[in-house]
C-alpha cells in the first residue's frame, strides 16, 4: 500500500533531499543559509511551518529542508502537531531521508541532562493521535513492517559523523513516546523503566511510523533535557529544560552540519 500511496499521490521526483525536523530548542537551523521558504498544503492540512530550503556554507550545492515541528514560534504542543501533514509535505518536495531532533527526559542512569542519544527502538504510549495514512480509500488493508523503527543506515551515518566530530553520543536506546503535554508522574516513569524504556519524549510517535508508511528513511537525534520525573530531587522546570537544550543544541548543530556535508 505504501507503493499505492507514493505512486498515486506524489509526482515523480528525482530529488534526493534530506530533511531536518527540529524540535523543542531548535525552531531554526542557524548554520543553514535559507534560500527560500515554501508553504506546502497537503490533503491532511497545513504542516507546522513553511518548509525552509537551504544549504550550509561548506556544501552550497546540497539543498536540505528544515521543518520546525512546533512551528517557528514554538506554539504547537506535541499532541497538536499535524504529523501527517508534516511528513506528507516533506515527501511531496522530494525528501527521502529525515533526521528528527527530539528533546527527551533521561531514564537510564547514563542519560542525564545534555546527553545525546541515537535511539533504536520505540514503545508507543500515545493515546489520542492520528497515527496512520492508511485509513480510508484503501484497496487493501496494510500493515507496515516496523520491527526496526529507525533507519539503520541513517543511524550509522549519524554515529559515524559524531565520531568524526569527536562528540560523545550513545548508540541505542528505547524511546517511550508519551501523550503529553504534561510531564509524567514518578510512578509512570518507574513503569516505563520496568518496560525497558531509556528515554521519554512526546514527539517520537507517530512521526516515525508515518515516515515508514511513506517509505522515508528516518532516524532521531535525541537530546536529554532533564532527568525524567522522580529520578532527581528537583522539580522539572521549563527554564531548566530550555537552558540545557540551548547549550546542547550547539553540539546537535555541529553534528547536523557534518551529516549534511558528508
Ligand atoms: N518527558 C517527556 N517529554 C520530555 C521530557 C520528559 O521528561 N523532557 C523533554 N521532553
pLDDT digits (tens, 9 = 90+) for 57-71: 777 888 999 999 999
pLDDT of residue 262 exceeding 90, the answer is: no
Distance of CA 186 to the CA centre of its chain: 25
Concatenating the DSSP letter of every residue in 35-72 gives: EEEE---BTTB--SSPEEEEE-TT-TT--EEEEETTTT
pLDDT tens sequence across 162-180? 999 999 999 999 999 999 9
Q: Percentage of the chain with pLDDT > 90?
A: 80
Distance (Å) from CA 203 to ligand 1 centroid = 9
Q: What does the pLDDT look like over 100-157, one tens digit per residue?
A: 999 999 999 999 999 999 999 999 999 999 999 998 778 888 889 999 999 999 999 9
The mean per-residue pLDDT over the stretch 89-95 comes to: 97
Specify the pLDDT at position 184.
Answer: 98
Indicate which atom in ligand 1 lies nearest the CA of residue 228.
7
11 or 112, greater pLDDT:
112
Measured from CB, residues less than 6 Å from any atom of ligand 1 are 103-105, 178, 183-184, 200-202, 225-226, 228
Which residue matches cell numbers 513492517? Answer: 145
pLDDT digits (tens, 9 = 90+) for 205-220: 999 999 999 999 999 9
Per-residue pLDDT at 21: 97
Which ligand 1 atom lies nearest to the CA of residue 106? Answer: 7
Mutational test site, ligand 1, from 69, 102, 104, max ligand atoms within 8 Å of CB: 104
Q: What is the pLDDT of residue 4?
A: 55
pLDDT at 1: 43
Residue 96, C-beta contacts closer than 8 angstroms, at least 6 positions apart? 15, 16, 17, 18, 216, 217
> pLDDT class for 6, splitting at 50, 70, 90?
very low
CB 222 within 8 A of CB 105: no
DSSP assigned state of 30: T
**Best probe residue, ligand 1, of 173, 200, 241 (max atoms within 8 Å of C-beta):** 200
pLDDT the model gives residue 104: 98
Cis peptide before 22 (omega within 30 of 0): no
For residue 38, what pLDDT band results from cuts at 50, 70 and 90?
A: very high
Q: What is the mean pLDDT of the chain?
A: 92
Amino acid at each position: 500500500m505504501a507503493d499505492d500511496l507514493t505512486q498515486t499521490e506524489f509526482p515523480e521526483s528525482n530529488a534526493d533531499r534530506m530533511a531536518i525536523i527540529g524540535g523543542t530548542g531548535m525552531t531554526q537551523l542557524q548554520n543553514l543559509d535559507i534560500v527560500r521558504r515554501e508553504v506546502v498544503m497537503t490533503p491532511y492540512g497545513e504542516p507546522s511551518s513553511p518548509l525552509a530550503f537551504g544549504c550550509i556554507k561548506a556544501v552550497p550545492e546540497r539543498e536540505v529542508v528544515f521543518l520546525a515541528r512546533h512551528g517557528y514560534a514554538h506554539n504547537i504542543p506535541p499532541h497538536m502537531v499535524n504529523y501527517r501533514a508534516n511528513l506528507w509535505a516533506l515527501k511531496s518536495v522530494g525528501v527521502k531521508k529525515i533526521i528528527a531532533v527530539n528533546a527527551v527526559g533521561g531514564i537510564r542512569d547514563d542519560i542525564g541532562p545534555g546527553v545525546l542519544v541515537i535511539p533504536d527502538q520505540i514503545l508507543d504510549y500515545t493515546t489520542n493521535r492520528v497515527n496512520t495514512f492508511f485509513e480510508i480509500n484503501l484497496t487493501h488493508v496494510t500493515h507496515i513492517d516496523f520491527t526496526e523503527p529507525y533507519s539503520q543506515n541513517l543511524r550509522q551515518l549519524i554515529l559515524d559523523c559524531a565520531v568524526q566530530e569527536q562528540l560523545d553520543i550513545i548508540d541505542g536506546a528505547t524511546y517511550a513516546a508519551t501523550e503529553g503535554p504534561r510531564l509524567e508522574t514518578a510512578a509512570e516513569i518507574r513503569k516505563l523503566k520496568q518496560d525497558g524504556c531509556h528515554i521519554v519524549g512526546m514527539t517520537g510517535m507517530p512521526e516515525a511510523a508515518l515516515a515508514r508508511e511513506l517509505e522515508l528513511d528516518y532516524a532521531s537525534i535525541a537530546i536529554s533535557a532533564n532527568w525524567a520525573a522522580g529520578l532527581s530531587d528537583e522539580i522539572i522546570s521549563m527554564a531548566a529544560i530550555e537552558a540545557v537544550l540551548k547549550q546542547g543544541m550547539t553540539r546537535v548543530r555541529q553534528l547536523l552540519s557534518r551529516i549534511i556535508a558528508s
